[in-house]
Amino acid sequence: MERTFLMIKPDGVQRGLIGELVTRFEKKGLKLVAAKFMKVSEELAERHYGEHKGKPFYDRLVAFITSGPVFAMVWEGDNVIALTRAMIGKTDAVEAAPGTIRSDFAVHTNFNLIHGSDSPENAAREISIFFSEQELVEYEHTL
Ligand code: CMP
């Protein structure tokens, strides 16, 4: 069973979309393993977005993700990484397919509401920097 790290960014929190977005993943039938409402420190942002260091949008990205609270989550399911990325849609809202989160709610690449891990390696890395082992809840998900 695969796990992924999803994070509703400060724009999603400010716009009151936490419930709407969590509902989509719940209705899909995915299993919630952990969730945390928190502010991201500069240090955490740099660890999370390390692979983008040096890119033209990096400083803006770190400034944005540290600007207000986020809702960090771990979800589990078969092919959960590909599934949730498909539900989120392309990074650029203009290219996001209709029905995806970014098509339905976002207009800008920098304010694109939610982050989703793009590979099993990044999912494991991102989960481990945001959550301790104890915060990953074990329970039966009967669906
Ligand atoms: P996210 O999935 O959080 O991962 C990297 C983020 O960088 C991405 O979402 C966007 O919010 C942001 N970003 C800004 N400009 C670009 C760009 N040109 N290409 C990719 N990501 C970008």
Distance CA(75)–CA(79), nearest Å, equals 11
Q: Which domains does the chain have, with CATH numbers?
A: 2-36+69-135 (3.30.70.141)
What tokens appear for 90 in the block?
A: 């392309």
Q: Are strands 114-116 and 2-8 parallel, antiparallel or unpaired?
A: antiparallel
- Per-residue pLDDT tens listing for the chain (143 residues): 999 999 999 999 999 999 999 999 999 999 999 999 999 999 999 999 999 999 999 999 999 999 999 999 999 999 999 999 999 999 999 999 999 999 999 999 989 999 999 999 999 999 999 999 999 999 999 86
Ligand 1 atom with the shortest distance to the CA of 52: 5
**What is the whole-number distance in angstroms between the Cα of residue 109 and the centre of ligand 1?**
6
Among residues 131, 141, 138, 143, the alpha carbon closest in space to that of 4 is found at 131
Complex-level ipTM? 0.90
**What is the whole-number distance in angstroms between the Cα of residue 60 and the centre of ligand 1?**
10
* Feature table: binding site: 9, 57, 85, 91, 102, 112
DSSP 8-state code for residue 90: -
Point out the catalytic residue in the list 48, 52, 108, 115: 115
